Amino acid sequence: MKLVYFAWVRERIGVAQEDVTPPEGVATVRDLLEWLKSRGDEYAEALKFPEAIRVAINQEHVRHDEPIAGAREIGLFPPMTGG
Amino acid sequence: MGQPATIRIQAEPFDTAAEIEALSAGRHDVGAVVTFSGLCRDEAGTLAALEIEHYPGMAEAEITRIADEATARWPVSAMTVVHRYGRIEAGEPIVLVVTAAEHRQAAFEAAAFMMDFLKSRAPFWKKEHRRDGSSGEWVDAKESDEAALERWR
């Protein structure tokens, strides 16, 4: 699946997007955030407070208990400051 | 489902008067047009500009979802939303919401609803460019913006 990052999540991780294949057992958004944190210091830093991270699956907002099975694109970003 | 909205995400500035005119031109059923323009403040002279990042594709999709809800809740005749991205100098416009309706209450409320949801649901993020040249911070989301959504529940 494709992961896309925005704002300070993108800056701290150091890339704007990447393709990943999470291991078996990574079932929900919450699981995905925990797994990503284990991938390196920059991920651990960006996702230090996972409850602060907003998530979209296929460009629609979801909660952290949402299953990720079948997701084509998952966006991770800080709380939005539009308008 | 109400009338479809016109939604544009663009780097270029917009012409507020032209957008109002376009929304009501040739119609005789519109009795009220409400406009909200959001501008880039200079924060007491300390801010030179904002850099606005967005999630291409999702920004349009999310604003469409918000507009669909607004036009389902209020009898809105037409709506235009323009949100800019990229570098925006202090004093320049960032966002425009224009709502047209037969009567003013629907136009006022639909515009307020759109802005409340644009603030904390539309995928845009603001980064500061300081006047003193120092690298600015990402603007933090305000709890008051999240609380503002409560009144529409």
Indicate whether this model's pTM tops 0.90.
Answer: yes
**From the CA of B152, how many Å to the nearest CA of chain A?**
17
Dihedral sign from CA coordinates of A76, A81, A82, B2 = positive
Is B139 touching A (CB cutoff 8 A)? Answer: yes
Give per-residue pLDDT as tens, B10-34: 999 999 999 999 998 999 999 999 9
Nearest Cα of chain B lies from the Cα of A6 at a distance, in angstroms, of 7
Residue A8: pLDDT above 70? yes
Question: Would you kindly state where each structural domain of chain A is located, as residue ranges?
Answer: 2-77
B98-110 mean pLDDT = 98
Q: Is B29 exposed, middle or buried (0-12, 13-18, 19+ CB in 10 A)?
A: exposed
* Max Cα–Cα distance, chain B, nearest Å: 52
User: Measured between CB atoms, does A35 come within 8 Å of chain B?
Assistant: no
* H or E stretch at A41: helix A41-46
Residues of A in contact with B123 (CB under 8 A): 6, 56, 75, 77, 80, 82
Indicate the average pLDDT of chain A: 97
Here the ipTM equals 0.96
- Residues B80-89, mean pLDDT to the nearest whole number: 98
Q: How many CB pairs under 8 A join A and B?
A: 73
Tell me the per-residue pLDDT of A48-73, one tens digit each, with 9 for 90 and over: 999 999 999 999 999 999 999 999 99
Mutate to test the interface with A, among B82, B125, B143, B145 (most CBs of A within 10 A): B125
Tell me the domains of chain B and their CATH numbers: 6-133 (3.90.1170.40)
Which CATH superfamily groups domain A2-77? Beta-grasp domain (3.10.20.30)
What average pLDDT score do residues B87-108 get? Answer: 97
